[in-house]
């Protein structure tokens, strides 16, 4: 039984490495197809949401899609995938949280978070692909936490502040943080840990 399990694990490692080697050599069409697929997955995950009574920003699961896009596609195509998600939503595809899309989403309080997804995917994908050391559990978790808690939230909080100002509401740093950051920290840490565990299982330690 142990020998069989070891064999299965070795086969998985080989298949995993083969995918990443194929990814770097695949056609542009294949990369576009993967990027669109991960954008669609992010849109599906965005519908897993919880609205809180004191903020227009919902709790969503779309960050898992961001992490998977970065891990599976790398820096360039992970970023492109999230750009497809952002631009597609603004063009009218209803895959933002609550099946929203179009001009209404651009004028809403959460569009900055969507553009933060692009920054997060670029950063995570670049850090994972650039050094094998970054694929170890601790560095990988730190990379994903930084991307989720900083790179997503900086543009998100800016867009939230602009939306509050444009709707005639009082804008204070404490108020913006309470509405758009503090309530989500614990949940995003948990999502980041789940994403880091998935990334650790997916990404090979070998060079590709």
pLDDT digits (tens, 9 = 90+) for 101-152: 998 888 889 999 999 999 999 999 999 999 999 999 999 999 999 999 999 9
Q: Residue 207's pLDDT is what?
A: 85
134, part of any domain:
yes
pTM score of the predicted model: 0.91
**Res. 58 pLDDT band, cuts 50 70 90:** confident
Higher pLDDT, 112 or 3: 112
What percentage of the chain has pLDDT greater than the value 90?
78
Is the model's pLDDT at 200 over the cut of 80? yes
**How is the chain classified by DSSP, letter by letter?**
-HHHHHHHHHHHHHHHHHHHHHHHHS-HHHHHHHHHHHHHHHHHHHTSEE--TT-SPPEESHHHHHHHHHHHHHHHHHHHHHHHHHHHHHTT---BTTTB-SHHHHTSTTHHHHHHHHHHHHHHHHHHHH-GGGGSHHHHHHHHHHIIIIITHHHHHHHHHHHHHHTT----HHHHHHHHTGGGHHHHHHHHHHHHHHHHHHS-SS--
Percent of the chain with pLDDT over 70: 98
Q: Residue 80 belongs to what domain range?
A: 2-202
Does 208 reside within a domain?
no
Give the pLDDT of residue 73: 97
pLDDT 10s digits, 150-161: 999 999 999 999
CATH number, domain of 58, equals 1.10.1760.20
Residue 135 resides in a domain:
yes
pLDDT tens digits, one per residue of 12-39: 999 999 999 999 899 999 999 999 999 9
**Rounded Cα–Cα distance for residues 122 and 83 (Å):** 10
The torsion angles phi and psi of 11, rounded to 5 degrees, stand at -60, -40
| Number of structural domains found in the chain | 1
Q: Is residue 207 part of a domain?
A: no
Query: Does residue 35 lie within any of the structural domains?
Result: yes
Residue 69 resides in a domain: yes
pLDDT band (50, 70, 90) for residue 5:
low
Mean pLDDT, rounded, of the chain: 93
- Burial class from Cβ neighbours inside 10 Å (0-12, 13-18, 19+) for residue 3 reads exposed
Looking at residue 2, what is its pLDDT? 66
Residues 195 and 137: their CA atoms lie apart, in Å, by 11
Q: What is the pLDDT of residue 10?
A: 84
Output 207 or 81, whichever has higher pLDDT.
81
Q: Which residue has 């779309």 as its token pair?
A: 62
């Amino acid at each position: 039984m142990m020998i069989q399990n070891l064999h299965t694990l070795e086969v998985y490692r080989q298949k995993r490495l083969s995918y990443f080697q194929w990814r770097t050599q695949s056609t542009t069409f294949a990369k576009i197809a993967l990027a669109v697929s991960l954008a669609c997955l992010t849109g599906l995950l965005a519908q897993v949401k919880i609205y809180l009574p004191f903020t227009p920003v919902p709790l969503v699961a779309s960050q898992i899609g961001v992490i998977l896009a970065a891990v599976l596609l790398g820096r360039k195509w992970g970023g492109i995938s999230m750009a497809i998600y952002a631009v597609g939503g603004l063009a009218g595809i209803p895959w933002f949280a609550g099946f929203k899309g179009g001009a209404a989403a651009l004028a809403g309080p959460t569009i900055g978070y969507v553009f933060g997804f692009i920054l997060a995917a670029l950063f995570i994908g670049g850090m994972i692909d650039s050094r094998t050391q970054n694929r170890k559990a601790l560095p990988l978790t730190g990379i994903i936490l930084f991307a989720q808690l900083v790179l997503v939230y900086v543009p998100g909080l800016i867009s939230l502040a602009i939306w509050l100002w444009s709707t005639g509401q009082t804008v204070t740093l404490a108020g913006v943080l309470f509405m758009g950051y503090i309530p989500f920290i614990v949940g995003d840490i948990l999502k980041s840990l789940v994403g880091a565990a998935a990334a650790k299982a997916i990404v090979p330690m070998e060079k590709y």
